[in-house]
Amino acid sequence: MDVQEFQSLYQRIRQELGRVVVGHDEVVEGVLLAVFCGGHVLLEGVPGVGKTLLVKALARVLELKFSRIQFTPDLMPADVVGTNVLVQDPDGRRSLAFQPGPVFSQIVLADEINRATPKTQSALLEAMQEYAVTVAGVSYPLERPFFVLATQNPIEMEGTYPLPEAQLDRFLFKLRVPFPDTESVVEILERTTGSRVPEAQPVADAQTVLRMQALVREVLAAPHVQTYVARLVEATHPQGPRPARAARRWVRYGASPRGAQALLLAAKARALVHGRAHASVEDVRAVALPALRHRLLLNFEADAEGVEADQVVRDVVEEVPEVAAASAGP
Amino acid sequence: MDPDRLLQSARQRLAWRRALQAGEAAALWLLLSALGAQLGTLAFPYSVRLDWAFLAVAAGAGTVALATRLLVRPTTTETAHWLDRRCALQDRMATYVAVRGAAPSRLLGHFLRDVQRAAAEVRLREAVPLRPARWRAVLGLAACVVAWDLLVSGSTLPNTPARRVAEVVRQEGRRLQDLAREWEREARGRGWREALWSARNVRQAAASLASPRATAELARRQLARLAAEVGAARAEVRARAQDQGALPGPEGPQLHPRAARALERELAGLGRALEEVPLSGEQAERVLRALNRLESTSPLRPQSPAQAALREARRRLRAQDRAGAREAVRRAEEAFRELARLLEEEGMLAKQRQEVEASSLSIAGALQGAADPEAAQERPIRYPNMPRNRPGTAGDRDDKDGEEWSWEGPQYGLQPGAGRVPEKVGPPTPRLQAQRRPEHLPGQPGEGKVYTGHVRAPAAGGEPRTRMAGLPARLVRQVDEVLRAQRVPAPYRDWVRHYFAELAESAP
């Protein structure tokens, strides 16, 4: 696969998704970038804006196995990863056999993930990071590619369990799904209330996705781009050597090195999407918001003043200069 | 264009661009400094010369630009970043520089083709423009500097050192104007062409000095030029006098104009004596002796026309050729007359130069005082204070009407509000022990001849007539203001100063 093929495939995937998902261009692009990077996505938005539809359509377009887990407070880890059940063979002998849970899929929609208990949430940790599940001491690898697309509702916070930082860090992107504008709503109505509901057609398969993921890692990243990523992450740390003003004021803990990895990988994927074989600072800036917003732990002052992580990330991106820009002049 | 060639060319242009920008910034700052300096002339007595200011700006900007070109050279990476930013190449060139020697990637070929394509579209002149970005600001500032020089230069704020110096300049201008008018009148009446030309120059220069926008620096330059011109005219007249036989001395010709006039008159007498008929032998002998004496004592070069005429007259007289002798004496008289005229003109030019230099010194003194205002405030100005009642001093009394003269002059000088004002104001000037000669000949204007000159003689012996006393500068200024505002006549001015000095001394 080369750059042109990648870009062409991307365009086709976007086109197919666009038949089903109206609007949300940024969200669709973010999800696809995460897919090409092999990362997981946390989607945040009010109910009914098309989160589940997007994930389903994605699974269909990429021809990947799809499963959905509706997280509830009484959901148990075994309900997610599976469990050993007693089975009886034709000879009448009984034995324990592993019954895979819904996580054994390729695209897992963890719907309203913040409604489950931390114990259940953490059941996803190993799957997301190690691409394997261990039950009763036996490790079961997950089929690649494997994505977790979790959703959470930002308005009904009562009785929820906010995701711990460790788990948040495992998501490549956190994407906000906004309410669609009037034109998009009209388009949705037109498409979904008629006699024929459009459906997305598969344009790729698992192998293609894996090849796309491999190509992303071949994208060139110059040292100044890597240094810029490092400085950007470094600037989010208030105790770091070069903290940004916003970070010094609003942030308690900054982004982790995993955040830097996510930034650069997403920048590479974006470069390919735009037909380039090299990542640029512009790519890094473009993906900084979804890649960093969930990795910043804001302090009390930020909570008190209603400052959101998005604003902090934007300020940090604005403040951190390009590595050689200062010497290169205007 | 090949990316490597593009980078190389862009690097050169970038170096020049930075040099020009540095020069432009230097020019901007220097022009701002010049404008600030011009602003300072409103309060402080210095001047900003436009030609020097622009020369400094050009030299400074050029030096900075050259130094920047030689010392600051952009690296290839910097150049690549520059091209990326200017041409929206999305870090293609910077990445190209970084990955040129790196391990090959599967996408390296695609990337290199991409860079080639992007580099081919780069327009180097647009990517690295050499035209400075702030040239409008530089031109605007330069225009402001010129406009200031044309429109505002010479203006001063009230009660500032600059205003005080400007007033001195204007006073000197008016003084020189008055003097130049007198010189012009006299030179025109006497037919002194050089002196007339010089006096006109002085008047014109003085008029510019008296204008409200005259600056001290301009005044000093003009006065220096004027002094040089007057000196040149004087040298020319002196050379002509020397051609007429005058011997050169350290400060001018050795022969005084009045001595030349005296010789001329004596020769006129001899000429009249030679016309007498009959001329006795004794008279002829007396004339011969007089001619001898004149020839031997007159400070003229032997080859001068006057001396030659005298020798000729003597020879003719010895040969009993009275007519020839009379003609020779007439020629000698003419020569001495011309010599006297030249010497007088030279004296006039010397006076003009002296006054011009005095004005220049006065302005320089005002500048010096303004440059050190604290010292001018603290340093007591030595001002001559009239001694009181010094009976017995020669020349200090006016015995004309039998009253003992008092140094106090008008009696109100001692006690404010009391006293009397006698008709005669102040003591007569003590005369030096020298013979006085009337300076003006009687006659109708334009007919007679006017003699002017200085009498040089040793100073009077004895104790000094004045004693020095320290006065604060504030008091002196107060006195000067009173003198200027009240239009005190010149004879009374010393006494007004004395009055205030007494007030200052009596104050606790």
pLDDT digits (tens, 9 = 90+) for B380-418: 433 334 433 333 433 343 444 444 444 444 444 445 555
Q: Cβ of B106 and A215 within 8 Å?
A: yes
Structure tokens at A292: 């960093």
Same domain, A43 and A94: yes
Note whether A65 and A106 are within 8 A (CB): yes
Q: How far apart are CA B100 and CA B4, in angstroms?
A: 10
- Judging contacts by C-beta atoms under 8 Å, the chain B residues touching residue A276 are 90, 92, 111, 114
The last residue of one of the domains, among A167, A199, A218, is A218
Three-state DSSP class for A68?
strand
Looking at residue A207, its pLDDT comes to 87
Same domain, A206 and A260: no
Q: How far apart are CA B324 and CA B320, in angstroms?
A: 9
Strands of the sheet with A171-176, listed across from one edge? A66-70, A107-111, A147-152, A40-44, A171-176
Confidence class for position A324, pLDDT limits 50, 70, 90: low
Three-state DSSP class for A134?
strand
**Domain range enclosing A50:** 1-218
Note whether A259 and A168 are within 8 A (CB): no
Phi/psi for A310 (5° steps) reads -60, -45
Same domain, A284 and A189: no
Looking at residue B84, its pLDDT comes to 86
Q: Which residue of B has its CA nearest to A221?
A: B95
Can you tell me the mean pLDDT for A215-233? 88
Q: Which residue of A has its CA nearest to B103?
A: A220
Identify the CATH number of the domain in which residue A295 sits.
1.10.8.80
Q: Which residue in B7, B73, B95 has the most chain A C-beta atoms within 10 A of its own C-beta, making it the best mutation to test that interface?
A: B95
The last residue of one of the domains, among A218, A253, A285, is A218
Q: How far apart are CA B130 and CA B19, in angstroms?
A: 10
R_g of chain A, CA atoms, integer Å:
21
Nearest to A280 among B90, B97, B110 (CB): B90
Same domain, A187 and A267: no
Note whether A116 and A103 are within 8 A (CB): no
Note whether B205 and B222 are within 8 A (CB): yes
Looking at residue B196, its pLDDT comes to 92
Structure tokens at A204: 């790729």
Same domain, A133 and A22: yes
- Judging contacts by C-beta atoms under 8 Å, the chain B residues touching residue A225 are 91, 95
Nearest to B114 among A276, A282, A325 (CB): A276
Q: Per-residue pLDDT for A298 more than 80?
A: yes
Same domain, A242 and A212: no
Looking at residue B400, its pLDDT comes to 40
Q: pLDDT 10s digit of each residue in chain B, 508 long?
A: 788 888 888 888 889 888 998 999 999 999 999 999 988 888 887 878 888 899 999 999 999 999 998 988 888 888 888 888 888 888 888 888 888 766 667 788 888 888 888 888 888 888 888 887 888 899 999 999 999 888 887 788 888 888 888 888 888 899 899 999 999 999 998 888 899 999 999 999 998 888 877 888 888 888 999 999 999 998 898 888 888 887 777 666 767 777 777 777 877 887 777 777 666 777 778 877 888 887 777 777 778 888 888 888 888 888 888 788 888 888 888 888 888 888 888 888 988 998 898 888 888 888 877 665 554 444 443 333 443 333 343 334 344 444 444 444 444 444 555 555 555 555 666 666 666 665 655 556 666 666 777 777 777 677 766 666 666 677 777 788 888 887 777 778 788 878 877 777 776 5
Please provide the distance, in angstroms rounded to a whole number, between the alpha carbons at the two ends of chain A. 38
Cis peptide before B250 (omega within 30 of 0): no
Q: Which residue in A213, A224, A323 has the most chain B C-beta atoms within 10 A of its own C-beta, making it the best mutation to test that interface?
A: A224
The last residue of one of the domains, among A156, A184, A218, is A218
- Which residue has 């020319």 as its token pair? B236
Identify the CATH number of the domain in which residue A99 sits.
3.40.50.300
Q: Are strands A40-44 and A171-176 parallel, antiparallel or unpaired?
A: parallel
Q: How far apart are CA A306 and CA A302, in angstroms?
A: 6
Looking at residue B121, its pLDDT comes to 84
Q: Cβ of B111 and A328 within 8 Å?
A: no
- Is the Cβ of A1 closer than 8 Å to some Cβ of chain B? no
Looking at residue B493, its pLDDT comes to 79
Same domain, A125 and A97: yes
Same domain, A229 and A214: no
Q: How far apart are CA B58 and CA B70, in angstroms?
A: 18
Looking at residue A86, its pLDDT comes to 87
Q: Which residue in A212, A220, A285 has the most chain B C-beta atoms within 10 A of its own C-beta, making it the best mutation to test that interface?
A: A220
Q: How far apart are CA B103 and CA A99, in angstroms?
A: 47
Cis peptide before A145 (omega within 30 of 0): yes
Please provide the distance, in angstroms rounded to a whole number, between the alpha carbons at the two ends of chain B. 92
Q: How far apart are CA B360 and CA B228, in angstroms?
A: 12
pLDDT tens digits for B278-318?
667 777 788 778 888 877 777 777 788 888 888 888 888 88
Same domain, A98 and A74: yes
Three-state DSSP class for B302?
coil
Kindly list the distances between the CA atom of residue B181 and the CA atoms of A206, B86, B438, in Å, as whole numbers in the listed order: 111, 71, 23
Confidence class for position A240, pLDDT limits 50, 70, 90: confident
**Least confident stretch, A172-176, A246-250, B120-124, B440-444:** B440-444
Instruction: Return the H-helix or E-strand segment holding A176.
Output: strand A171-176
Domain total in chain A: 2
Looking at residue A325, its pLDDT comes to 46
Closest CA to A85 of A93, A94, A76: A94
Looking at residue A328, its pLDDT comes to 44
Structure tokens at A51: 């989160």
- Which residue has 């007030």 as its token pair? B503
Find the angle CA(A298)-CA(A301)-CA(A306) to the nearest 5 degrees.
Answer: 80
- Which residue has 């997403």 as its token pair? A266
Same domain, A113 and A246: no
Q: How far apart are CA B444 and CA A226, in angstroms?
A: 107
Q: Per-residue pLDDT for A156 more than 80?
A: no
Looking at residue A330, its pLDDT comes to 41
- Judging contacts by C-beta atoms under 8 Å, the chain A residues touching residue B90 are 276, 280, 282
Mean pLDDT, chain A, integer: 84
- Judging contacts by C-beta atoms under 8 Å, the chain B residues touching residue A286 are none
R_g of chain B, CA atoms, integer Å:
39
Nearest to A324 among B18, B77, B99 (CB): B77
Same domain, A214 and A225: no
Q: What does the H/E/C string look like for B317-384? A: HHCCCHHHHHHHHHHHHHHHHHHHHHHHHHHHHHHHHHHHHHHHHHHHHHHHHHHCHHHHHHCCEEEE
Same domain, A171 and A96: yes
